[in-house]
Structure 1
């Protein structure tokens, strides 16, 4: 898996930070979380083809998280995209869809599905599960979690001891199928080890600190959390339903996350060194996201 940060600023661009957008490369897919203004240009610099994006997850409809979407979709169409694109977002997504399709002379010939969601399981397959969770912002806003589903380890020697011949039967058992050997039924649980925890990546969207985020981020391998303000501006964070660096660190600690990556920084700060120090006092394994930073897991 690979995470690529395309934009790490908040409401206003800076010289070095674009509006929010994050790419996840995993399970043979390219998934985009949020699509701030300028995202398609960031994709060019990151050498990622927008034609390969299969899903887009929008956290909420403030401009810094969506204004890149109309241009991205029109560019995909201009370049001859044919494959389906699925876009998820909280209540209000259909209104956004209508706005995009009626913006200028918009022409979209490839299939797009817009799906409004709430707190729920969005997708579940053999390889992964994606969930969403309402968090605490001024407008409806969702956090997202992508969790790898790992099969239990196959106990080869145990299977042999039970008389299972080496070959296709091993694969059937590992995939959860019962088999019959010489009139005896062998069940998968007889030859499989304990359940294994897969990689979990959680993205907060914009949010004030809340219990829902702590529960949702539980046991994350990487928690990507907004950190708009330093502690000295905690009153502004509370007023605008955002988090400070310390808020994010406390959520990482309480959720038993392994690593915290801070993003969505206010441009009011000339340097983010103190913001990082504040977070590390509470949760040591913290780093600051920057545009085009990559994390391989």
Structure 2
């Protein structure tokens, strides 16, 4: 099953492609039109979306890992007389019974370790929806189509300048910014990068096969 999430009208658009191309897929497809809120909630992560600000309906997406269990205190577990075969259950945040007493995960686990957070906002002007979605995320991937000298052109097209994206990243308190959806008028992106770095230093320009390392938050 392939699930495709997109703004209102996505289903009509994709069905029109099916009809025009006159082909059938060998696997089921579910098209889900969304606007805002949590659109997917799995065991280890969830996905949220908000309306972006563009000339047509566009959605920004947030991919959020759920918090991970805190560090397991083996010494404390031994003092409580918890058999080792029950430790995994506690690490999975399940209650166990040891010595005829209920032991809760928080009795032997440290503070929850926060998950990683990514926001993807392309085809958008800087806007409150994206700003709020991006608060304190580990990585923001944002529209940075033009240098700021072409701000009016960015406004007309519903896009952002590199400087504007950097200002939003700084205001949102993100840890890292990637500029993408760059205009083809910039074979050399140094101008865009320089504008952004002057506002927000931890920024890169997206390129094909770029790999970004987002390490898990370690125990203190």
Q: TM-score, normalised by structure 2?
A: 0.91
1:133 is matched with 50
2:73 is matched with 155
Q: Given the alignment of the two structures, is residue 197 of structure 1 paired with residue 132 of structure 2, yes or no? A: no
Q: Deviations over 1:209-240 (max 9, x none)?
A: 11111110112211111101111011111122
Query: Matched residues in 1 for 2:202 and 2:23: separation?
Result: 45
SS at match of 1:197: coil
Gaps of 5+ in 1: 1-83
Q: Report matched runs for 1:75-224 at 5 Å.
A: 84-149=1-66, 150-167=68-85, 169-224=86-141
Query: Matched residues in 1 for 2:36 and 2:122: separation?
Result: 14
Query: Matched residues in 2 for 1:140 and 1:95: separation?
Result: 14
| 1:152, distance to aligned residue in structure 2 (A) | 2.3
1:238 to 142, 148, 155: 155
SS at match of 2:21: coil
Q: Given the alignment of the two structures, is residue 280 of structure 1 paired with residue 197 of structure 2, yes or no? A: yes
1:259 to 176, 179, 182: 176
RMSD over aligned Cα, in angstroms?
1.4
2:217 is matched with none
Query: Matched residues in 2 for 1:267 and 1:203: separation?
Result: 20
Give the number of the structure whose residues are more often strand, by fraction. Answer: 1
Does structure 2 conserve the Cα–Cα contact (< 8 Å) formed by 1:89 and 1:117? yes
Query: Matched residues in 1 for 2:165 and 2:73: separation?
Result: 41
Deviates more, 1:155-164 or 1:236-245: 155-164
Query: Matched residues in 1 for 2:131 and 2:76: separation?
Result: 40
Q: TM-score, normalised by structure 1?
A: 0.68
| Count of residue pairs brought into register by the alignment | 213
Query: Matched residues in 2 for 1:104 and 1:270: separation?
Result: 34
Q: Given the alignment of the two structures, is residue 296 of structure 1 paired with residue 213 of structure 2, yes or no? A: yes
Does structure 2 conserve the Cα–Cα contact (< 8 Å) formed by 1:145 and 1:203? yes
